Amino acid sequence: MSPPLVAADRSGQRFDSAAHPDPSTSLNRHRLRSDTPSVGHLVHLNNAGASLPPRPVTERVIAHLRLEEQIGGYEAADRVAEEWQQGRESLADLVGGQLDGIAVMESSTAALHKVLSTVPLRSGDRIVVAGAEYAGTVLPLLQLTRRMGVQLDFLADGPDGTVDVDALSHQLRTPTRMVFAVHAPSHNGLINDVAAIGAVTQAAQHRPWYVVDACQSLGQLPIDVAEIGCDFLMASGRKYLRGPRGTGLLYVGPRALADLDAFPLDVRGGSWSNERDISIEPTAVRFENFERSVAAGLGLMAAADYARKIGIGSIAGAVSRNAEYLRSHLGAASGWRLLDRGKRRSGIVVVRSHTTSAEQIVGQLRKERVNLHVVPATSSPRQLGDESALRISPHAFNNQADLDRALDLLTYITQ
Ligand SMILES: Cc1ncc(COP(=O)(O)O)c(C=O)c1O
């Protein structure tokens, strides 16, 4: 397939240049692009799937693998112990939390599973989840309803599709063990007000454990766990934060650190003292596993440093402008239906074409080196029904030429 010969005229809506810092936000897109080697031959708009790691991240991972090759894995881990500790501080700063609360995980789902096995649940306990919750969160919760008779309720959606916080406050008059809320879902551009959800959860008479899914917001939006008031926050490294695959983060708040152990412990989280006794690591490190990729963990920390240097506020502004640009064009074009809801919107743009399936579109654009993503209906049957959708998720390194290239191809193949 050939791309259209003449690009659509979008001259009235140009907002930046690939070659110069963005004056309105001080975002240095030139630096972002020169740190991202493949932008010259690839239009990557699947940052909600896995972003392109910037050069310092990839280099940090490779350098550690080389060190392991040269001196041995345990010896290499010892050598970077100080850097690892500084990296944990960087992760703590990124989420506005205490260093003690940071656990470096293999994925957000690994963090979720550890949380679920740690919080003591009994038959009849009630758990409530946001309507836009990710399938990977709902799956084990539904299993718990079957395995041990836990009760699972979905929070009412407000008129804009986000969690209705007043309705939640009302629902929390019934004793509730856990509340789950996704900050920015992966199948819709809405953003839930996780701080408002946190406020009513904290105020509830039987204060539930509050778990926030920040998979799509870490590295994209400012996050402040103290303001959110959560007991746990879990996130992926590979998405907007631009870390390596196989990384994630768990933040454990002070109440959870004081009242819960971590189950099951491995030799990183505890030590076997004698036949009857164990001692437990006092910090959130007890949620971690001993065996994991140190190289990937260092890459995650390098990604946190990188995002903080660029500035999360600048990244958030650029991601939002890129997403709104796509929404304004696709929303104005007759052949598209925009599915995004919410008053505040993330960098995740979800649409359906009236003529062409998301699968066909993604397949064809990939041949043109433009990466988009199919969101399967199973990622949120409550909100997507039984039909998949097309997701376009720009990052701050994407420039207008990237967006126009994708829009031109979308117009071309769906007309
Ligand atoms: C909103 C949301 N939550 C959770 C996850 C799971 O994250 P991970 O793949 O790091 O386990 C994803 C992954 O796509 C996601 O988009």
The CATH number covering residue 371 comes to 3.90.1150.10
Question: Are 200 and 237 in the same domain?
Answer: yes
Residue 24 has pLDDT above 70, yes or no: no
Answer yes or no: do 188 and 112 share one domain.
Answer: yes
Helix (H/G/I), strand (E/B), else coil: 228: helix
Beta strands 336-338 and 349-353 are antiparallel
Question: 19-23, 231-235, 402-406: which has the minimum mean pLDDT?
Answer: 19-23
Average pLDDT, integer, range 265-293:
95
The per-residue DSSP string of 89-117 comes to HHHHHHHT--GGGEEEES-HHHHHHHHHH
Q: Is the pLDDT score of 166 beyond 90?
A: yes
Closest by Cα among 26, 24, 23, 34 to 397: 34
- The answer to whether residue 236 sits within a structural domain is yes
Task: Please tell me if the CB atom of residue 108 comes closer than 6 angstroms to any atom of ligand 1.
Answer: yes
In ligand 1, the atom with minimum distance to the C-alpha of 182 is 1
248 lines ligand 1 (CB under 6 A): yes
Residues 113 and 260 in one domain: yes
Give which of 372, 375, 361 is closest to 402, Cα–Cα.
Answer: 372
171 pLDDT band (50/70/90 cuts)? very high
Q: Are residues 266 and 360 in the same domain?
A: no
Residue 286 contacts residue 262 (beta carbons within 8 Å):
yes
Residue 233 lies in a domain: yes
Indicate the top mutation candidate among 215, 218, 240, 382 to test ligand 1's pocket, ranked by most ligand atoms within 8 A of CB. Answer: 215
**Residue 236, ligand 1, Cβ within 6 A:** yes
Nearest to 186 by CA among 154, 221, 153, 213: 213
Q: Output the CA 7–ligand 1 centroid distance in Å.
A: 35
Residues 274 and 396 in one domain: no
DSSP, residue by residue, 320-342: HHHHHHHHHHHHHSTTEEE---S
- Does residue 170 share a domain with residue 130? yes
Same domain for 69 and 211, yes or no, is: yes
Rg (alpha carbons) of the chain, rounded to whole number:
22
- Ligand 1 centroid–CA 211 distance in Å is 14
For ligand 1, whether the C-beta of 46 sits within 6 Å is no
Rounded to the nearest whole angstrom, what is the distance from the C-alpha of residue 135 to the centroid of ligand 1? 9
Q: Is 102 in the pocket of ligand 1 (CB under 6 A)?
A: no
Q: What is the DSSP letter of 190?
A: B
Q: Is 107 in the pocket of ligand 1 (CB under 6 A)?
A: yes
Residue 191 has pLDDT above 80, yes or no: yes
Ligand 1, closest atom to CA 111?
11
H-type helices in 6-118, by residue range? 29-34, 55-71, 73-79, 81-95, 108-118
pTM (predicted TM-score): 0.94
Q: What is the pLDDT of residues 74-115, one digit of tens each?
A: 999 999 999 999 999 999 999 999 999 999 999 999 999 999
CATH number, residue 119: 3.40.640.10
- Output the CA 378–ligand 1 centroid distance in Å: 14
207 pLDDT higher than 80: yes
**What backbone phi and psi angles, to 5 degrees, belong to 105?**
-120, 175
Please give the distance, rounded to the nearest whole angstrom, from the Cα atom of residue 109 to the centre of ligand 1. Answer: 7
Token duo for residue 216 = 């799509």
Residue 3 domain flag: no
Average pLDDT over every residue of 59-81:
98
With a pLDDT cut of 70, the percent of the chain lying above it is 94
**248 C-alpha to ligand 1 centroid (Å):** 10
Ligand 1 in reach of 213 Cβ (< 6 A)? yes
* Average pLDDT of the residues in 245-264: 98
Ligand 1 nearest-atom number relative to CA 238? 10
Point out which residues pair with 160 in neighbouring strands: none
**Counted domains in the chain:** 2
Atom 7 (ligand 1): residue with closest C-alpha? 108
pLDDT at residue 2, rounded to an integer = 44
Domain shared by 213 and 261, yes or no: yes
Same domain? 297 vs 346: no
In this structure, the answer to whether residues 156 and 44 fall within a common structural domain is no
1 domain residue, yes or no? no
Q: Where are the beta strands (DSSP E) in 238-311?
A: 248-252, 270-272, 278-280
150/143 Cα distance (integer angstroms): 9
**Residues 65, 22: one domain?**
no
Residue 4 pLDDT more than 60? no
Mean pLDDT, to the nearest integer, of 54-74?
A: 98
Q: How far is the CA of 236 from the centre of ligand 1 (A)?
A: 6
Q: Is the CB of 215 under 6 A from ligand 1?
A: yes
Nearest-CA residue for ligand 1 atom 8 is 108
Domain residues for the domain of 334 are 11-52+311-414
